[in-house]
Amino acid sequence: MDITISLSAEQGNRNTTEHSNAEDDDTEGGEDVIGDSEVDELFHQFVPTAIGDGDHRVFIVHPDVKWGSKKQYLTTAELQMAEAVGLVQTLQNWTVVDKVIMSTKTPEKRKIFGKGNFQTLTERLSPPAERELQEAWGVKVFDRYTVVLHIFRRNARTKEAKLQISLAEIPLLRSRLKNEVANLDQQGGGSRYIMGSGETAMEVQQRLLKERELKIQATLERLRRKRHLLRSQRKNKDFPTVSVMGYTNCGKTTLIKALTGDAGLQPKDQLFATLDVTVHAGELPSHMTVLYVDTIGFLSQLPHQLIDSFSATLEDVTHSDLIIHVRDISHPETVSQKVNVLNVLKNLQIPDRLMNTIIEVHNKVDLISEYDPTEPDCLPISALKELGLEDLRQKVEEGIMKSTGKQILSLKVDLSSPQLGWLYKEATVQEVEAGGDDCMATVKVIISAAAYGRYRKLFQNT
């Protein structure tokens, strides 16, 4: 795990950047478990004071594991360092002044680089290790977890994203709390009881954190139920749903904008620009309406607390009809990124019937001088240049027809009855051909088995 060292972090005030809720869909009737003002208070309460809003000149230390279970076989230390640099550069006013890769053979040891070094290669630096490094070097030290969490903070817009981040911070707060109390114990003051309550300072703080955790989880569950309701409404309207997934900054949002023409989408060339699941309507060659779901991007070695916190927002994926896996084929780690995405999908327990629908898209082919597809059934495109999109739409339509069981039918329709209007509402009308009788027409439709069953029941005598 990279260790990011801030060489001259200006101690600014708490990060109070205003984030507007882009969606007014956070209530489900009645009062929220946590109101909007309290969400913002939670969100800004525990910003690490060392981060602030000032300039940061950063020196990055990355461990190169030589062998063992921690060794990365699908990437290199140089490419992992490049990703660490990209993470830091995503943050405004953060610049990388230098970087170093240091070899290690024993990443499982507390001091992994051997005697005299202080780095600890775990999912995140422990508070004692962080303090040790800061005292040894006289600079602020941020681990990968803290940097990624700070990027998430900068990009959070909706109530749900802020709550997910606040939930992901709780394990970090618990760890720091234990460390602070341990320091008090060493000074003889950590076991004092609070105002005769029978609780120690540690117990009070742990209880407050637990109450905070339960409250956040209850509010997120309410928002999850609202998402379920919205998903049910989409299903009732018989709109097929396509989840667009991929490694962070692979071009998912740019692709959805190109497929839908949604001017409200503003893609950014940065990591984790999308934190909230959003849904956008597009049209396939048959004129069938399809809903594209934009999801949070993936990252290698993403701390599991963040995966756990945001897994609920990926719930929509398991209920979709088809998945588009977008790959930045110009990226030197594109193979490793693919493995990472597929592993996350596996961990989400995506059903096999949905995994079998995956359309792999090789995006950004315009950045490659001589693109040569090395994998079968992949579609080369450039979302930015809008190259290859018609082939993709056709592929999506074929996949939707297969996964949903929709069928193309030619129906004899009485134009004097409500039949045609009903078909326009409940199915996709492709063509209306008038017959010899002015009151009759042949209508070509794409319709689901369920909708066709309703149609026959309503108009079986016509």
- 16 annotated ligand-binding residue: no
- 273 annotated ligand-binding residue: yes
- 335 annotated ligand-binding residue: no
Asked whether 424 and 386 are in contact (CB, 8 A), the reply is no
- 295 annotated ligand-binding residue: yes
Task: Please state at what angle helix 144-155 crosses helix 159-186, rounded to 10 degrees.
Answer: 140
- 365 annotated ligand-binding residue: yes
Asked whether 13 and 62 are in contact (CB, 8 A), the reply is no
- 274 annotated ligand-binding residue: yes
- Cβ partners under 8 Å of residue 413, min gap 6: 419, 420, 423, 440, 441, 442, 443
Asked whether 315 and 239 are in contact (CB, 8 A), the reply is no
Q: Please provide the distance, in angstroms rounded to a whole number, between the alpha carbons at the two ends of the chain.
A: 69
Q: Is 3 helix (H, G, I), strand (E, B) or coil?
A: strand
Asked whether 2 and 100 are in contact (CB, 8 A), the reply is no
CA distance 73 to 199: 49
- 296 annotated ligand-binding residue: yes
CA distance 381 to 10: 44
- 384 annotated ligand-binding residue: yes
- 247 annotated ligand-binding residue: yes
CA distance 21 to 157: 5
CA distance 80 to 298: 15
Asked whether 87 and 271 are in contact (CB, 8 A), the reply is yes
Q: Where are the beta strands (DSSP E) in 40-123?
A: 56-65, 94-104
- 249 annotated ligand-binding residue: yes
Look up residue 55 and give its amino acid. Answer: D
Asked whether 306 and 126 are in contact (CB, 8 A), the reply is no
Look up residue 344 and give its amino acid. Answer: V
- 275 annotated ligand-binding residue: yes
Cα dihedral 31, 37, 40, 45 sign: negative
- 297 annotated ligand-binding residue: yes
- 462 annotated ligand-binding residue: no
* 217 burial level (CB within 10 Å; 0-12, 13-18, 19+): middle
- 434 annotated ligand-binding residue: no
- Residue numbers in the known binding site are 246-253, 272-276, 294-297, 363-366, 382-384
Question: Residue ranges for the binding site for Mg(2+)?
Answer: 253, 274
Numbered residues of the known binding site for GTP:
246-253, 272-276, 294-297, 363-366, 382-384
